[in-house]
Amino acid sequence: MSNNDQNTNQEYDPRNTEEGKGALDRLIQGLWRSPLGVLGVGITTISITLIMIGMIIDMLGLIKNPYASLVTYTILPALMLFGLFLIPIAIYLQRRKWRKYGMDRDQIIINLSNPKHRLALIGFIVLTVANVSLLAIISYEGYHFTDSPYFCGMVCHQVMEPEYVAYQRSAHSRVACVECHIGPGAEWYAKAKISGLRQVVAVLRNTYNRPIPAPVHELRPARDTCEQCHWPEKFHGKKIKRYVSFTNDNQKEPKITEIALHTGGHNPENNTFEGIHWHVSQQVEVSYLAVDEKRTQIARVKVKRPDGTTDEFVKSDIEVPQNTEQQWRVMDCIDCHNRPTHIYNMPEERVDFGLLSKRINPEIPGIREDSLQVITKEYASRAEAEEAMISDLLFLQKERSAEQAAKYKEDIIKAGSFLLEAYLGNVWPDMKVKWGTYPDHLGHQNAEEGYGCWRCHDEEHLNKSGETISQDCSLCHDEP
């Protein structure tokens, strides 16, 4: 053997510099001499330190930033696990190197009578318990963080901002997103997180849909979510619905329409299901076959009644494409209440509300017509709307009468601020969310576009006996 070979062997021989040390001692010290081992220990230590700092900051509420929480509860724990994974890999590679030069013959022996071994074992146990406890806490907090509305609405801020803003002003703003979009149980939680990974990739690649489509087909059945709180079987009887509107010719005196809706349910007086909630009662199953994603073209409707009889109603002028026969959907709450939380307003609704609440002064001639014109104007961005909307309203009023615009200037500015608030709560040009992007299936206000009750109740769906699905108004409400 040459002198160079001898020098090489001596370089990797721990016994040359650590005479008398056991395998365990050499292994621990060898870990610190391995770049991979030092990297693993460094990543683990830094990650744990930053996790603890991040948790303290989050609990004290010192920083209100969704990305700070994202780093604390997802990225840093992943780095910590990666660092812990590198440590045994480094030890394994070190032992392979020693075995190559014949230095790994003795077994690793833990001698509890040796004070160093006892101290090392205690340190190992303490670090293991600390790491496991920290991971358990951070996993629990991370689970709640990723299930929070704050995470859903703020982490993907640009993508989910429209839905998050609508959610915050809804009647369900105290209900967490996951209670409706996922529901209880581990199975749907796992499905949602796997689906979320696909959505994350779409966001990173900038290939997500604009606007975000309503996820009706991916939602869990309403009996597992909505009916955790609501109970269609309960008899609700009638409910008064009130509509208030103005016209350009009369912006001072509102037209008020009240309708008694037959909400229905199980009527204990006659032991029958009636009213609107008949569609989703336990003893009735209504299913339908839609030929478009928006569910405005209903080709067939099946009804299974309490006595066990079934019926199918077909609209002959709607052609059913191939491979859609298996896309039947059992009707539930979401088929009518398709916007139960993420409710967007229409411009007429907001302007009329402004007149009713006097945030728009009805004494200003032409203010309703001008308000509708500026609020429905297609601004290139929300920033442009913020800069121009109030000025646009003032300009329109000046065109009517400079004297009138000067007289009511403060009220016009106040009205413009209200209109801007309404616009910013319903329109996002960059996400292609405009007025009327998300129509409602409740009632028949949007019947001309194919939305609402008249999709099925049109007197055109026929069964084998020639009977139709009735369009009788009294089925759902009294005369206005």
pLDDT tens profile 110-124: 677 878 778 878 888
- pLDDT at site 411: 95
- pLDDT at site 350: 96
- pLDDT at site 151: 79
Strands 298-304 and 285-290, by their bridges, are antiparallel
Same domain, 310 and 277: yes
Q: Which of 102, 117, 146 is the last residue of a domain?
A: 146
- pLDDT at site 157: 67
- pLDDT at site 8: 44
Same domain, 134 and 36: yes
The Cα-based distances of 40 to 31, 134, 138, 296 in angstroms read 10, 18, 20, 57
pLDDT of 139 strictly over 60: yes
Q: Which of 224, 251, 266 is the last residue of a domain?
A: 224
Within-domain flag for 442: no
Lowest-confidence pick of 85-94, 160-169, 283-292, 380-389? 85-94
Within-domain flag for 157: no
pLDDT of 104 strictly over 60: no
CA–CA separation, 287 vs 279, rounded Å? 10
Domain count, the chain: 4
> What SS3 state is found at 274?
strand
Same domain, 10 and 56: yes
Within-domain flag for 433: no
Within-domain flag for 231: no
- Residue 88 confidence class, pLDDT cut points 50, 70, 90: confident
pLDDT of 25 strictly over 70: no
pLDDT of 98 strictly over 80: no
- pLDDT at site 145: 79
CB 162, CB 428: distance < 8 Å: yes
Within-domain flag for 36: yes
Mean pLDDT of 238-255: 92
Q: Which of 424, 440, 465 is the last residue of a domain?
A: 424
Same domain, 128 and 9: yes
- Residue 382 confidence class, pLDDT cut points 50, 70, 90: very high
Contacts of 286 (CB under 8 A, 6+ apart): 279, 280, 301, 302, 303, 304, 330, 331
> What SS3 state is found at 459?
coil
Same domain, 326 and 387: no
Mean pLDDT of 425-439: 93
Lowest-confidence pick of 117-121, 263-267, 430-434? 117-121
Percent of the chain predicted with pLDDT > 70: 90
Same domain, 98 and 175: no
432: left (phi over 0), alpha (psi -120 to 50) or beta: left
- pLDDT at site 284: 87
| pTM of the complete model | 0.76
Same domain, 212 and 272: no
pLDDT of 4 strictly over 50: no
Same domain, 30 and 123: yes
Same domain, 249 and 211: no
CB 352, CB 245: distance < 8 Å: yes
Mean pLDDT of 306-328: 83
- pLDDT at site 26: 64
- pLDDT at site 397: 96
CA–CA separation, 170 vs 164, rounded Å? 10
- pLDDT at site 299: 92
pLDDT of 109 strictly over 90: no
Higher pLDDT, 381 or 6: 381
The Cα-based distances of 55 to 73, 80, 297 in angstroms read 8, 15, 51
Mean pLDDT of 352-364: 95
Return the H-helix or E-strand segment holding 298: strand 298-304
Mean pLDDT of 15-34: 58
- pLDDT at site 148: 79
Same domain, 197 and 318: no
Residue 462 sits in which domain range?
Answer: 238-339+455-475
Mean pLDDT of 393-398: 96
pLDDT of 434 strictly over 60: yes
Return the H-helix or E-strand segment holding 289: strand 285-290
Contacts of 120 (CB under 8 A, 6+ apart): 24, 28
- pLDDT at site 154: 75
> What SS3 state is found at 243?
strand
- pLDDT at site 266: 81
Higher pLDDT, 420 or 224: 420
Average pLDDT of the residues of the chain: 84
Mean pLDDT of 366-373: 96
Percent of the chain predicted with pLDDT > 90: 34
Within-domain flag for 116: yes
- pLDDT at site 367: 96
Could you tell me how far CA 334 lies from the centroid of its own chain?
A: 16
Within-domain flag for 153: no
Within-domain flag for 133: yes
pLDDT of 255 strictly over 60: yes
- pLDDT at site 87: 85
**Per-residue pLDDT tens over the stretch 171-180:** 898 888 888 8
Handedness of CA 327, 301, 340, 174 (dihedral sign): negative
- Residue 198 confidence class, pLDDT cut points 50, 70, 90: confident
CA–CA separation, 444 vs 455, rounded Å? 9
Same domain, 195 and 250: no
CA–CA separation, 354 vs 360, rounded Å? 5
Same domain, 209 and 331: no
CA–CA separation, 212 vs 177, rounded Å? 16
**Per-residue pLDDT tens over the stretch 30-79:** 677 778 888 888 898 898 888 888 888 877 877 777 777 778 888 888 89
